[in-house]
Amino acid sequence: MARVELKSVSKKFGGVVAINDLSLVVADGELLVILGPSGCGKSTALRLIAGLDEPDVGEITIGDRVINDVDPKDRNVAMVFQSYALYPHMSVARNLEFPLRQRGIDREQRDRIVSDVAKRLGLTEMLARKPAQLSGGQRQRVALGRAIVREPDVFLMDEPLSNLDAALRIETRAEIAELQRELATTTLYVTHDQVEAMTMGDRIAIMNDGALQQVDTPETVYSKPSNVFVATFIGNPGMNVFSGTVDPATVSPGDSVLELLIAGNTLSIPADGELIDDVRSTLGPRSRSTTGSTSGSTPGASNVLIGVRPEDASLVSDGGVEGNVVIVESLGSEAHVIVKLHDNSTFVVRQDHSARRPSPGEPVNIALDVQRVTLFDPETKARIGR
């Protein structure tokens, strides 16, 4: 059926790398969200699948067909553009009908399809109107309708909600997800909005600088980010990542605790044998060369990046990591306490509504949920273990 696969695809525009060695499989019927900051290459990936741009190297397949050299119109994909790309001189009905006119479908059947789709999307009353007479949400639905009338193998959606206001966006994203599930059409959905990605995607592919960072379910991407970029990009605010040290020499196989040194405070985290092995193999060989080079670290210790989600930290009266409150951002139901640690790095703690709000300048102690600490290799920025 319509499984989409990209194999080692790269694309440059001029000298600028838009996509670098991207390999990705979208299962039949799946809704895969491609998420990333602007300029990360996510829209380019979509345009390569649509055939609006051509890859420099690599292979793209839809179903069991290699489509690199297939004309866009013969790929049987439908795209929803960020701008909606509605034809301003045509009525809604004519816009919806436009993709059908090229396919030798007779008038009667066209009318039937259009009225079915219009009913499904609540556009029946608007069929005679021009796009300029519609609200943003209605325009968006016409664009969606134009994609589904063709019953394509693949939907490609390029930031389809970014022109809607916040309330409408929440409503529409649920509608699109529901529609996609109903139609069970393979869908690639590009967005820079992580909430959209988390709520809609069966899986999320996160891209940065033209390279794929991680593909996984929303839960996994959140709880087990594959690297520092994903950790800090996902979540609002993102994961706190700060440096600390661990002495691989002090951990031996069979230990169940890992001792970390953070801004002068020691933190013990429970570890299974696998993590211990990973830490030893990742940091061990390097420890000798970096020994003593970092001030404040004990001889023989290695730097490590430590990641903690804001909700996995809390303010306590003593112990933990020390710092001073910079500002407290209250969002009503919760608050973000921004703390400056003694090594000048910033740490955000998320408090629920019941917690006491500290005042700016106040010295605080941060306790970390040791069960939920993530470690990253400071050189490759990749997650260690687990």
By C-alpha distance, which of 180, 80, 99 is closest to 140?
A: 80
Residues 52, 57, 128, 174: which binds other proteins (CB under 8 A)? 52
Q: What is the DSSP letter of 358?
A: P
Question: From CA 10, how far away is CA 82, in angstroms rounded?
Answer: 23
Q: Least distance from C-beta 55 to other proteins, angstroms? A: 10
Q: Least distance from C-beta 102 to other proteins, angstroms? A: 4
Q: Which residues, numbered 327-366, are part of the site for other proteins (CB under 8 A)?
A: none
Residues 17, 25, 27, 70: which binds other proteins (CB under 8 A)? 70
Q: Least distance from C-beta 231 to other proteins, angstroms? A: 35
On whether the CB atoms of residues 278 and 250 are closer than 8 A, the answer is no
Q: Least distance from C-beta 70 to other proteins, angstroms? A: 5
How many other CB atoms are found less than 10 A from the CB of residue 21? 15
The label of the residue with tokens 């649509």 reads: 50
88: contact with other proteins by CB under 8 A:
yes
Question: From CA 257, how far away is CA 252, in angstroms rounded?
Answer: 10
> Count of residues binding other proteins (CB under 8 A)?
31
Nearer to other proteins, 68 or 345 (CB): 68
On whether the CB atoms of residues 225 and 239 are closer than 8 A, the answer is yes
14: contact with other proteins by CB under 8 A:
no
Question: From CA 134, how far away is CA 139, in angstroms rounded?
Answer: 6
By C-alpha distance, which of 131, 42, 44 is closest to 83?
A: 131
Q: Least distance from C-beta 41 to other proteins, angstroms? A: 18
Residues 8, 37, 89, 217: which binds other proteins (CB under 8 A)? 89
Q: Which residues, numbered 93-152, are part of the site for other proteins (CB under 8 A)?
A: 98-99, 102-103, 146, 150
Nearer to other proteins, 86 or 262 (CB): 86
Return the range that interacts with other proteins (CB under 8 A); candidates 50-58, 204-212, 248-256, 366-374: 50-58
74: contact with other proteins by CB under 8 A:
yes
Question: From CA 382, how far away is CA 380, in angstroms rounded?
Answer: 5
1: contact with other proteins by CB under 8 A:
no
Helix axes 166-183, 136-148, angle to 10 degrees: 20
Using a 10 angstrom Cβ sphere, with 0-12 exposed, 13-18 middle and 19 or more buried, the burial of residue 167 is exposed
Residues forming contacts to other proteins in the complex (CB under 8 A) are 50-52, 54, 65-66, 68-75, 77-79, 81-85, 87-89, 98-99, 102-103, 146, 150
